[in-house]
Structure 1
Amino acid sequence: MHRDCLGPTLLIIASVIAGTVAWSGHILLLPAALGFPVLWSLARTRHTATLVSAAYFLSASRGLPQGVAAFYASDLWPGLLLWLAASASFVAVHALLWTKDTGRRPARYVLAAALMAIPPFGITGWGHPVTAAGVLFPAWGCWGLAVTTAGLAGLVSRLWPAVAIALTGFWLWSAAFWTEPKLPEAWRGVDLELGASLGRNTSMLRHRDLIATVTERASDGARYIVLPESALGFWTPTIERLWTRSLAGQDATVLAGAAIVDADGYDNVIVAISFEGSQILYRERMPVPGSMWQPWRRLFGGSAGANAHFFANPVVALDPGRAALLICYEQLIIWPILQSMLGDPDLIVAIGNGWWTRGTSIVAIQRASTAAWAKLFGKPLVFSFNS
């Protein structure tokens, strides 16, 4: 009995370590996530595969309970319940597709990885091992993604030791010559430390402070200045007039997060503003499930919260090029960035409002994940976060 328990216990402990190390917020540690498919394949029973999957996902998303508690100013119980609920799709997919048949196992795992990359399961597809492609194969683009996917299949086959050695070699080579994604010329990302007040304090004084920050950043020749998610609060004609008038004489465009309310809920958006006027540049494809996106409330006649535009506006036009825009939660999942890369944008712009994640590694994970995708496709990257 002791021997029967020892093997599964070691697999579970190793899965916790893989999830914790890979998703610590350090980009060069992302390939540690490739340990999960090996551990999943080494499970001898479906029950063990289920526990290994749960251990990996829960450790990878360990900051969620504390973050939810901070967001709602409550105790840990709501966050713990959401944490467990969010793990359900990941665990169910990997448990159901696990098989004893070693010949069928690679195809089964690749199917599980694909399901966790796209809706509906991909809505909570955090901690996806394929994110490591950007560290293993920087600038390889779709070829790097394909090789990583093939590597995932190899890691659950009988050849897994050889595949693991090969991937480790790419990992070490990449780490030895690693450079961060480039900041595109004439772009400036503004990081703020305004806590929970950003987006909630909508006073004229706050807007004038933000305008002063933009004016200062524009003084060194920047053409595009990026402010974090929710920086402008609710976007109204009054706020639009204030900003456009304040930018008179400035040869700069501001990209800033805001919210637009409609009859069914609201859109989390990025607005582009210049002295000539403004436009809604981007509507968030995947708001945070539970806290922002609540489609089940429509069944009871309520507002669904933030609208999800799942496959809309993957690439937006910006003179003289095009950009892929990502808001907060979209930086943790797979399909928004992959859909955007199909349009071959010139750069990636990632914004967030992470005050509620203080004390966790969530924002660091967002940055590492987005930077990994930028490296994989060789795209310049602009960040703007509030903490």
Structure 2
Amino acid sequence: MCRDYLRPALLIFASIAIGAVGWSGHVLLLPVALGFPLLWSIARTRLVAAFVSAGYFLAASRGLPQGVAAFYSSDIWPGLLLWLGASLSFVAVHTVLWTKNAGTRPFRYLLAAVIMAIPPFGITGWAHPVTAAGVLFPGWGWWGLGLMTAGLAGLVTRIWPAVAIALTGFWLWSAATWTDPKIPDGWRGVDLELGVSLGREAGLQRQRDMIATVRGAATDSARFVALPESALGFWTPTVERVWTGALRDGAATVIAGAALLDAGGYDNVLVAIDRKGGRILYRERMPVPGSMWQPWRSWFGESGGTRADFFTNPVVAVGAGRAAPLICYEQLIVWPVLQSMLHDPDFVVALGNGWWTKGTSIVAIQRAATTAWAKLFAKPLVIAFNT
């Protein structure tokens, strides 16, 4: 009787450990997440598969309750409810598609992986094991993604030991030769430590401080300066005039986050500013569900919340190059980066405002995931975060 409970308990504890270690924020540990499909496949019942899925996902997203509590300045309960609610789609998909039939299991798992990578389930498709492709197959691009997909399928078959050994070999080789993505020529990303005030304190002095930061970062070799999400606050004609005037005597172009407000809500955008003026460069495809993106408001005739532009503007022109922009939450899910890579951009620009994640590994996970994707497709990477 004890043995009947011991195996499921070990599988659940192992899934928790895999989620915690694989999504600890260290890019070279991302392949640990490949243990999840293996544990899912060797579960003997659908119920155990559900608990294995829940353990992995909840451990991987463990920073959410504390982050939500900080974002809303509330106690831990709203964060716990959102944490559990967000896990439902992941657990439901992997529970429904689990099967005892070894012949169809690889197809079932691949279907689950695809479902969790694209909307609507992909909207909360965090901690996707396919993200590890950039660590195992850096520079292999779509071929590497294909090999990673084949490896995931192989891990849920009877030959999983051979597949695991092969993937471990790629992992060790990559770790031994690993280098971070290079920064594109002429670019500089500026990290800030302004906490909750970024985007909320929008006075003239804050704009002047940002301008001084840009001037310190802009040199002859760095003509493009990236500032974090929300760095400019609300994008207005007045803010545009202040920045255009400040950049009039230089050749620098600033790429910064801002909010574009109207009667129906607002867009979370990236703005490009130089001495000739400013323009909206990018509108976020997938804002944070719940705290930013609140589509249910329109159902009740209410306004507010951030608009999701989903599949628009996957690449944008900046100078002589084409960038794949990723704002904050988009770095945690799969489809925005893959959609951008279909257009073969020249580099990736990843911006975020992570003040609310203090004490968690969320920002580190965002950096690790973005780094892995940039390495997979051999793209230079610019990162700018506020903490």
Same fold (TM over 0.5): yes
Counterpart CA distance in 1 for 2:78 and 2:158 is 42
Cα distance per residue 1:128-176 (max 9 Å; x no partner): 0000000000000000000000000000011111100100000001000
Structure 2 residue identity aligned to 1:53: S
Map of 2:347 onto structure 1: 347
Q: CA deviation at 1:319?
A: 1.9
What secondary structure is seen at the aligned counterpart in 1 of 2:288? coil
Contact persistence 1:57–1:90 (CA under 8 A): yes
Helix, strand or coil: the match of 1:223?
Answer: strand
Q: Report the Cα distance in structure 2 between the residues aligned to 1:57 and 1:15, rounded to whole angstroms.
A: 9
1:49-60 alignment runs, 5 A limit: 49-60=49-60
CA distance in 2, matches of 1:85, 1:130: 23
Query: C-alpha separation between the residues in 2 aligned to 1:264 and 1:155?
Result: 47
Q: Secondary structure at the match of 2:289?
A: coil
Q: Which residue of 1 aligns with 2:44?
A: 44
Q: SS in structure 2 opposite 1:191?
A: coil
Q: Distance in 2 between matches of 1:221 and 1:209?
A: 22
Give the secondary-structure state (helix, strand or coil) at the position aligned to 1:254: strand
User: Which stretch of structure 1 is more off in the superposition, 215-224 or 176-185?
Assistant: 215-224
Output aligned runs, 1:35-184, within 5 Å.
35-184=35-184
Structure 2 unmatched runs, 5+: none
Q: Distance in 2 between matches of 1:360 and 1:302?
A: 33
Native 8 Å contact 1:296 1:304 kept in 2: no
Structure 1: how far apart are the matches of 2:256 and 2:302?
28
Query: Where do 4+ consecutive residues of structure 1 move more than 2 Å?
Result: none
Aligned counterparts of 1:234 and 1:100: Cα–Cα separation in 2: 54
Aligned counterpart, 1:384: 384
Deviations 1:170-228 (A, max 9, x none): 00010000000101111000000000000000010000000011011113431100000
Q: Deviations over 1:60-105 (max 9, x none)?
A: 0000000000011111000000000000100000000000000000
RMSD, aligned CA: 0.7
Q: Which amino acid aligns with 1:196?
A: V
Asked if 1:15 corresponds to 2:15, the answer is: yes
Q: Which moved more, 1:347-356 or 1:292-301?
A: 292-301
Structure 1 contact 328–353 (Cα < 8 Å) conserved: yes
The Cα of 1:298 is off from its aligned counterpart by: 1.4
Name the structure 2 match of 1:28: 28
Q: 1:266 and 2:266 equivalent?
A: yes
Q: Does 1:374 align with 2:349?
A: no
Describe the SS at the equivalent of 1:303: coil
CA–CA separation in structure 2 for the residues paired with 1:104 and 1:241: 61
> Does the residue aligned with 2:222 lie in a helix, a strand or coil?
coil
CA distance in structure 2 between the aligned counterparts of 1:301 and 1:42, rounded to whole angstroms: 48
The letter of the residue matching 2:143 is W
1:10-46 CA distances to partner (integer Å, 9 max, x unpaired)?
0000000100000000000000000000000000000
Distance 2:52 2:320 in 1: 48
How far did residue 301 of structure 1 move? 1.7
- Which residue identity lines up with residue 261 of structure 1 in the other structure? L
Q: Is the 8 A contact 1:99 1:105 kept in 2?
A: yes
Identity of paired residues, percent?
Answer: 73
Find the counterpart in structure 2 of residue 210 from structure 1.
210
Per the TM alignment, residue 382 of structure 1 is displaced from its structure 2 partner at its CA by: 0.3
Note the alpha carbon deviations across 1:336-382, whole angstroms, 9 max, x for none: 00000000000000000000000000000000000000000000000
Decide whether the 8 Å contact of 1:67 with 1:358 is kept in 2: yes
- Give the letter aligned to residue 145 of structure 2: L
Q: Mean alpha-carbon deviation: is it higher for 359-368 or for 214-223?
A: 214-223
Contact 1:240 1:278 in 2 (8 A): yes
2:264 and 2:55 map into 1 onto residues whose CA distance is 38
Total equivalences in the alignment: 387
Q: Deviations over 1:46-71 (max 9, x none)?
A: 00000000000000000000000001
Question: Is the counterpart of residue 332 in structure 1 residue 332 in structure 2?
Answer: yes
**Aligned letter for 1:354?**
G
TM-score by length of 1: 0.99
User: Match for residue 235 of structure 1?
Assistant: 235
In the alignment, is the contact (CA less than 8 A) between 1:295 and 1:304 conserved in 2?
Answer: no
Aligned 8 A contact 1:293 1:304 in 2: no
SS in 2 for 1:352: strand
How far apart, in 2, do the equivalents of 1:27 and 1:20 lie? Answer: 13
